Amino acid sequence: MSLVPSLSAFRELEDLILDMNDVREVLEGGFDCSTGKRKEGILERCLRRNGKALRVVVARDFNNFLKRDVWVVVHVSLHSWSRKFALLERRK
């Protein structure tokens, strides 16, 4: 499935100086870091990078322009690596 950034996620990527390849890397090689329940079709994945946790949230959606299902990147953030992320990574 294709990855399509939302406008807010695109701005977050620009602020963090990241691109969609970084998002794909987190989704493919990261671990589930959702701390609560999410709606069906929403994924939250994290990846440890340079002592920080890179978090990506994507939602499954149908794109009318492309006429197919896509993953919409909803949120991208960078957090300091904490005990919470270490516990979530072990839960993987």
Q: Average pLDDT by consecutive 10-residue portion of the chain (92 residues)?
A: 90 95 94 84 91 92 85 93 77 66
Domain with 7, as residue range(s), is 2-91
- Total number of domains constituting the chain: 1
Query: Which pLDDT belongs to residue 49?
Result: 87
Sheet holding 68-80, edge to edge: 2-5, 68-80, 52-63, 42-49, 31-32
Q: Whole-model pTM? A: 0.85
- Surface-to-core class of residue 2, CB atoms within 10 Å of its CB (0-12 exposed, 13-18 middle, 19+ buried): exposed
Query: Which pLDDT belongs to residue 92?
Result: 60
Are 85 and 92 in contact, with CB atoms under 8 Å apart?
no
Query: Which pLDDT belongs to residue 11?
Result: 96
